Chains A and B, each alone.
Chain A
Amino acid sequence: MTIRERLSKLAKKLSWQATLGLVVLVAFLFVAIFSAQLTTHDPAEIVIGNRMKPPSWHERGVPEHFLGTDSLGRDILTRLVFGSRVSILVAMTATFVAGSLGVIIGLISGFYGGYIDDVLMRLADIQAAFPFILLAIAVLAVLGPGLINLILVLGIAGWVPYGRIVRGQVKSLREQEFVEAASALGAGHFRVIFRHILPNCWGPVIVLASFSAARTIIAEASLSFLGLGVPPAIPSWGAMLADGREYLSLAPWLATYPGFAIMIMVLSINLLGDWIRDILDPRLRNST
């Protein structure tokens, strides 16, 4: 079954949880794309006189700041809306980096086998030995924080599971008749890999990607907590949550809304991911 056939079958099987997740994610994506159109403030605009204003329905709130302002008088709703860009950007690109790196290494390792396989898989073992967050901290401490560095670190730290799964798939596919037939007919390595093997690996890769996207968003927040997140000028949910943690009793809105946004986003990805896994992972298909 090709991926296209599978997807069309999927659409018929949407559970309510998956539908909910999908709707929320599409909404977030919409908000991220049209951030500038949806907001009335500049996310970086500092109005010191307006700082720490509570949401507008509070006594001290002001109508032009619906969810209140932060410690520099910046509009929280605006920053939340723009923050969705960073969260989605980081999650998508880091997952993409990890996924492509893992798929490429997995393909090479599985296809060529032998000592290339040995070397690459030992590399995977070495990297997997470092706890994810510890590796990210150590690398960021060396490179210095920054959006690009953050994406690279989260991406590079996450390739191993993809590499291992794709390698396993390739190894089993290689033995199958259609691949052997293609090779026998003189198809080049690249042709065999891209035309015959790769399309059969997407299932598990998509499942993995959905969960690592969720994990990336959490990791971004955790790194912000340790002061290694995106630079302060860029609004991100993780940084907003981390910045607001000290003000919980004084100005709970600083941290509550970004915390809520992270939770909803990750929850939606997980709901959707669960469903994708149930559909694409043959091992669980019979129970769904």
Chain B
Amino acid sequence: MTNYILRRLPQLVLVLFGVTVVSFGLMFLSGDPAELWLGPAAEVMTADQIEEWRENMGFNRPWYVQYVEYAGNAVRGDFGTSFRHGRSAMSLIVERMPATVQLASLALLISVVVGIPLGIVAAVKRNTPIDGVTMLFALMGQSMPSFWIGIMLMLFFGVQLRWLPISGRGTIQHLILPSTTLAFFYLAQNARVMRSSMLEVLGLDYIRTARAKGLANRAVIYRHALKNALIPVITLIGLQIGAMLGGTVIIETVFAWPGVGRLVVTSIGAKDFPVVQAGVVVLASSFVIVNTIVDLTYALIDPRIRYS
């Protein structure tokens, strides 16, 4: 096990390094910051004033100098000062992390708690109307863009019925619409994978044997089939944790949720490079770290993985 961890760690570091290179490169390529950032001020400023601004902001130096400085600081979690907010970009991101994690966690919970039973029911009632309806629902969940689902839910539960608050963060009710919307896709995914995994396990020899030995159907399903059928779903959930952190971007914009994704999107719009870089690196790193932890846990469960 220790060996496995030792093998994974350098990979992790390497990937994180790559992430910083990519995020720096993207922003560096996006054009002259003076034109992008000064906006209307550039209209009234003289060429000398603009040049002085570039000088002051450090945009005049060659790209490799800027990268070395950037990378050196990035290692310490310092991505510079946000143009728009005048504060450390990293602190802006960190400040919004809880909101995003909260949203993603609840969405994960919903997608697991609703998705897995749906999949089990569909598998057990295979080829019945229940199976058909469940799978159609799951497929529809994967067939609509999330902003669309979000706006529909908002108009129905917020404006029409007035059961739930529409946007913002605060009470637990505020969480319901955004997390349900975010959960929709993953819920559908879980239900479908759970169903096929369950079907596969139910077709295996030992289950047939158990049934042949006269065990009750219910006991077969829940005692024997379920725990094996869950394994692929759990792998999937591991991947979903990371994906959800990034998937919040659109949900946070629709519901005015004060999270990292929305900050990154508004910062891209405002060409606030340090915040974009910090946000991208943080989201990507969380994704990598979560996936590494999931892999490690998986290796703990299934020793064969360690040696492959």
- A residues near B (Cβ < 8 Å) are 122-123, 125-126, 129-134, 137-139, 141-142, 214, 218, 221-222, 225-226, 238, 241-242, 245, 248-249, 255, 259, 262-264, 266-267, 270-271, 274, 278, 283-284, 286-287
Contacts and interface: CB of A to CB of B under 8 A. Distances in A.
A21 to B, nearest CB: 10
Interface stretch (B55-63, B165-173, B245-253): B245-253
Contacts of A122: 11, 14-15, 18
25 contacts: A123-B18, A129-B287, A130-B246, A131-B246, A132-B246, A133-B250, A134-B249, A134-B280, A139-B26, A141-B269, A142-B27, A214-B142, A214-B143, A218-B143, A222-B145, A222-B147, A241-B148, A245-B147, A245-B151, A255-B148, A262-B143, A262-B145, A263-B143, A278-B196, A287-B202
A84 to B, nearest CB: 15
Q: Can you list the 7 inter-chain pairs with the closest CB atoms, starting with the nearest? A: A131-B246, A126-B18, A266-B143, A221-B145, A287-B199, A129-B284, A287-B200
With most chain B CB atoms within 10 A of its CB, the pick from A130, A221, A270, A284 is A130
B1 interface: no
Contact of B246 (A134, A141, A226, A270): A134
Given A122-B14, A283-B200, A131 B143 contact: no
Nearest to A268: B143
Interface of B: 11, 14-16, 18-19, 22-23, 26-27, 29-30, 139-140, 142-148, 151, 155, 192, 196, 199-200, 202-203, 242-243, 245-247, 249-250, 253, 261, 264-265, 268-269, 276, 280, 283-285, 287-288
Contacts of A138: 23, 26, 268, 276, 280
Given A245-B151, A259-B144, A287 B203 contact: yes
Contacts, number: 133
B243 A226 contact: no
A286 B280 CA distance: 42
Contact of B155 (A132, A238, A249, A263): A249
Nearest to A241: B148
Contacts of A125: 11, 14-15, 18, 288
A123 B21 CA distance: 12
A267 B143 contact: yes
Given A134-B261, A221-B147, A262-B143, 18 more contacts: A122-B18, A125-B14, A126-B22, A130-B280, A130-B284, A141-B268, A214-B142, A221-B145, A222-B145, A225-B147, A226-B253, A248-B151, A255-B148, A259-B144, A264-B143, A284-B200, A287-B196, A287-B203
Given A131-B242, A214-B143, A221-B145, A137 B249 contact: yes
A88 B251 CA distance: 26
Instruction: Name the prevailing secondary structure of the B interface residues.
Output: helix
A57 B113 CA distance: 43
Contact of B203 (A134, A242, A286): A286
Given A133-B247, A263-B143, A287-B200, A221 B148 contact: yes
B285 A129 contact: yes
A132 B23 CA distance: 14
B142 A270 contact: yes
A122 B19 CA distance: 11
Contacts of A287: 196, 199-200, 202-203
A125 B145 CA distance: 26
A218 B280 CA distance: 22
A287 B140 CA distance: 24
A144 to B, nearest CB: 9
Nearest to B138: A270
A241 B143 CA distance: 14
Nearest to A218: B145
A283 B201 CA distance: 11
